[in-house]
Amino acid sequence: MKRCLPAWLSGYRREYLAGDLSAGLVVTLLLAPQGLAYALVAGLPAEAGLYASIAPLLIYALAGRSHAQSVGPMAMTSLLVAATLARLAEPGSGDYLALAIGLALMSGLMLAVLGLLRLGFIADLLSEPVLAAFTSASALLIVLSQLGPLLGVSSGGAALPQLLSGLWRAVDDINRIALPFGASALVLLLLARWRGDACLRRCGLTAAARQLWLRLAPLLAVLVGMALVAGLDLSAALPVVGAVPSGLPAPAWPALSLAQWSQLALPAFFIALVNYVQSLAVVQTLAQRRGEEVDPDRELLALGLCNIGAGLSGGFPVTGGLTRSLVNAEAGAQTQLASVIAALGLLLLAGFAAAWLALLPLPVLAAMIIASVAGMIRFDSLRLAWRTDRADAAAFALTFALVLWLGVDSGIVAGVLTSLAAMLWRSSRPHIAELGRLPGSHHFRNRLRFAVEHLPGALFLRVDESLFFGNARQVRGEVLARLAARPDASRLLLIMSAVNRIDTSALLMLARLDAELAARGVTLHLAEIKGPVAQRMEGGGLLAGFSGRVHLSTQAAWEALAA
């Protein structure tokens, strides 16, 4: 029995309880408005945000390993959901909600399967500069998309051109009550971020307490906003969240056709990828504070189950949030019991007190979202990349521009491709050295650096990189060019001592190169093939058909070709 329980539960100590309880309550109060806000960013009814907040907290507590990770709706994920679904259904329709639930289920399933297959390396599909560019550009899009609600106007759009033109058209409709509400909330929250710490320090608070209070500032803004709406009876004069049905999330399976599931597959993969990268970063940050070990595959599985749970209870894709998890840790969370308590708190809120949330003014929610993502717009990664690696700087700039121009959904595809294309570009032109023999020895060296002797009619080339589809074509071209410069050479030796790996594309290239050379009367010889590479060549039956021979060492090849 005990082995089935999560470690924190079977080893629970009474002294953890006070911290877990207070963290649980604080997180409940923070998550309720955050869930609503991110549901609205995703174009979903407010209650979906509450539902998406509950099951993931419980599931992570059972399946995850981090002591303070808090999984739930996140701004960037919600924007990705909105951008994906905008192409597939009308916001507000039943289909739209069903597709959002489908996205949670499908991305959850993908994460869980990747976790079980121990394929956590997919987090490495995104390089740091590309991830930073994606995050900054998405945050900018979120800020722009929330300017509409902040000003009390409706302005849609998933990318910069549409957002700007939407805002431009809506300028005349600015709601004169919404504006001061939103603007003052925003100014307050930004002041809290920039000046708050110095201010509270003068009040004599400890560093940890200051951090916690500042992170709770959004909650204060929300409560004041609700109180003002209730007290001044403004619910008709400015946009509010409106009726949130009280009720518990009910298990549900979305009614989607096979074609709709198919359409969700690729976006679900990218949402899964972004969510996993975010969540893993949070877990690593938390782990460093306590010296915990992180098991990326386990986290992959846990996040997958959280998303499946979110989908089954009527929610949308979720991930670990840094702010939320830090609040949890700073409010005293010692174990995942804090998350269990927060889940129960949200459940009570959703079941019995949801009506209270109806008075929440949308401009204040928008201000809260803007303030929370504004700090994510950062260019230090671009600066570092510019100083160290121009290809990375170009990848940053390209990803940033594409996310703004195409929207987050296409932007993330472009970003991943940019990461990988930059890597491909770097390894696509391997170094190839022409070798000769140091006179009187068995040593072979680069002819550009040493005084070496050559075998007449033979060209010795050493390829200094593993061969794969990304450089096969260039290697072929370079070998042919070197051969063209030595028209007397009728025997070509490729020295494979630095080729650690070879793939099918490179094997096919070698076979074709051999045929091509044979047609010109040049025989291709190979030397110093490493074990795994030789094995693959034999497996493919490619060594048997070669025009030349395979030599164990370069010296053996020299002797054989000289004979």
Residues lying near a second copy in the complex (CB under 8 A) are found at 87, 119, 121-129, 159, 161-162, 258-259, 262, 265-266, 288, 296, 381, 384-385, 387-389, 391-392, 402, 405-407, 410, 413-414, 416-417, 419-428, 466, 468-474, 501-505, 507-508, 516, 536-537, 539-542
Backbone angles phi, psi at 319, to 5 degrees: -155, 175
Minimum CB distance to a second copy, residue 429 (Å):
8
Residue that is written with structure tokens 């491709």 in the block: 417
Q: Are 415 and 402 within 8 A, CB to CB?
A: yes
Give the residue with the Cβ less far from a second copy, 311 or 407: 407
Lookup: tokens for 26: 């604080």
Based on CB atoms, which residue is closest to a second copy, 453 or 516? 516
Q: Is 394 helix (H, G, I), strand (E, B) or coil?
A: helix
Decide whether 10 or 427 has the Cβ nearer to a second copy.
427
Give the nearest distance from C-beta 504 to a second copy in angstroms: 4
Minimum distance between the CB of residue 265 and a second copy, rounded to whole angstroms?
6
Using alpha carbons, list the distances in angstroms from residue 240 to 50, 265, 368, 539, 540.
16, 34, 14, 68, 67
CB 355, min distance to a second copy, A: 39
Please say which residue, 248 or 384, places its beta carbon nearer to a second copy.
384
Nearer Cβ to a second copy, position 56 or 115? 115
Q: From start to end of 430-551, where are the E strands?
A: 432-437, 444-446, 458-463, 491-495, 523-527, 550-551
Burial (CB count within 10 angstroms: exposed 0-12, middle 13-18, buried 19+), residue 307:
buried
Closest distance to a second copy from the beta carbon of 555 (Å): 22
CB of 485 to a second copy, least distance (A): 14
Within 8 A by CB and 6+ apart from 295, the residues are 65
**Backbone CA torsion sign across 46, 47, 51, 54:** positive
**First-to-last CA distance in the chain?**
75
- 495: helix, coil or strand? strand
DSSP state at residue 438: P
- Please identify, using beta-carbon distances, which residue of 10 and 504 lies nearer to a second copy: 504
3-state class of 464 per DSSP? coil
CA distance 455 to 174: 83
Nearest approach in angstroms of CB 396 to a second copy is: 9
Question: How far apart are the C-alpha atoms of 245 and 261, rounded to whole Å?
Answer: 28
Nearer to a second copy, 516 or 559 (CB): 516
Minimum CB distance to a second copy, residue 270 (Å) = 10
Question: Which C-beta is closer to a second copy: that of 201 or that of 426?
Answer: 426
